[in-house]
Amino acid sequence: MSQTIMTYSACIVAAGRGTRAGGGTPKQFRSLAGRPMLSYSIDRFAQDPACGQLIVAHAPGQAERVRACLNGAEAVLVEGGETRTQSVRNALAHVTQTQVLIHDAARPLVSKAIIARLRTALDNTPGAAPALAVADALARSDEAGVMPVSRNGLYRLQTPQAFQTVLLREAFQAASTDYPDEVSLARASGLDVVLTEGEESNFKVTYADDFERAERVLTGGAPSTLTVTGIGYDVHRIAPGDGMHLCGVFIDCPYRLIGHSDADAGLHAITDALLGAAGLGDIGDHFPPSDDQWKGADSAMFLAHAVKIAAEAGARAVHVDVTLICERPKIGPHKAAMTSRVAQILNLDPERVNIKATTTEKLGFTGRCEGLAAEAIVTAVLS
């Protein structure tokens, strides 16, 4: 008989403003190695078969930004509060599993091993948290001067912090103030918590230097990391019509593109470039035009499939540069929407997507408005 795996709910707290990290944008949405930082925590839990529910607590008005980080994962989006305690309380109301892990979006490098140790600890205790012993000498400074403090028995707490759901809910019901984390809240209500082994790599991205440190780990820290490039090119004929799709955006114009799918030359070129970077052939290998099931298909599906199989092959896009070559339609008014859509499909920060357009000065088939061409270069990281 197969053993049933007890599943848990994962709550990612992503409602902070992240002002200490700089950069203007809330840090959970800032680009980290070509992707919003929040997406790394989402991926870690979404890819864990034992995670039966994913919840993200976000600031008011940030739901769409969170959705852009999901990369196909299913999640319950919950509006957070002014404090961490309020945000977690809101998320906890939606938890459906008997165990819950609460994690900071600002810790993008949490490992499977940390999660596994917490789950094991919950077999015998109400709560658990990863921790690292304090190694540095400590001192307290006040008007009386500097006073050394013993580091014996002192630990740095990390997340996820894991609990039996019913007991944590009771602790929240008893809480009359805000707490810096769930361990503090749980202990204030008398709930037992054990410490499990933490990891230095599971550090919290708080300041600007922390982004640089995390970026080094994700892109250049490991000897096995390699940056590669793929090139894509696509052409489709133009005919009179009532609009066309380009880079995932519908353009209302008196033209259409002729092709077996929706003929989105921009997405086709990006798809080919990503497949090339990953060494996975071309778009025709995966979606042959002779197959009727792709007739009129949304080309976003092709690119999303390329993202999935590239990830399975260990390749992840970190930048894309697209050139659309045509006399008509005018691309400029649609570039922002195209950038946003391509970034969403590739799970990239929009700053890592560049879309531009040019003409051929009325020369050749593009100059005669007989067709439209697209070129794309995708830079990817192999691991």
Residue 72: per-residue pLDDT: 87
Q: Given this model, what pLDDT does residue 1 score?
A: 38
Tens digits of per-residue pLDDT, 42-90? 999 999 999 999 999 999 999 999 999 998 899 999 999 999 999 999 9
Q: What does the block give as tokens for 246?
A: 């380009």
Q: Is 281 left (phi over 0), alpha (psi -120 to 50) or beta?
A: left
DSSP code string of 86-112: HHHHHHHTT--SSEEEEEETT-TT--H
The CATH classification number of 8-220 equals 3.90.550.10
Q: What is the pLDDT of residue 224?
A: 44
CATH topology of domain 226-382: 60s Ribosomal Protein L30; Chain: A; (3.30.1330)
Give the model's pLDDT for residue 220: 61
**What is the rounded CA–CA span in Å between residue 167 and residue 224?**
43
155: left (phi over 0), alpha (psi -120 to 50) or beta: beta
* Domain segments of the chain as ranges: 8-220, 226-382
Query: Exposed (0-12), middle (13-18) or buried (19+): which is 83, by Cβ within 10 Å?
Result: middle
The pLDDT assigned to 5 comes to 65
CA 319, CA 146: separation in Å to the nearest integer?
49
C-alpha to C-alpha distance for 32 and 36, rounded to whole angstroms: 6
Give residue-wise pLDDT tens across range 165-179.
999 999 999 998 999
Cis, peptide link before residue 329, omega less than 30° from 0: yes
pLDDT at 225: 53
Q: Is 57 helix (H, G, I), strand (E, B) or coil?
A: strand
Q: Which residues make beta-bridge pairs with 79?
A: 58
Spell out, as residue ranges, where the chain has pLDDT lower than 70: 1-5, 17-24, 220-225, 383
Q: Would you call 341 helix, strand, or coil by DSSP?
A: helix
Q: Is the whole-model pTM more than 0.75?
A: no
Element (H, E) at 168: helix 165-174
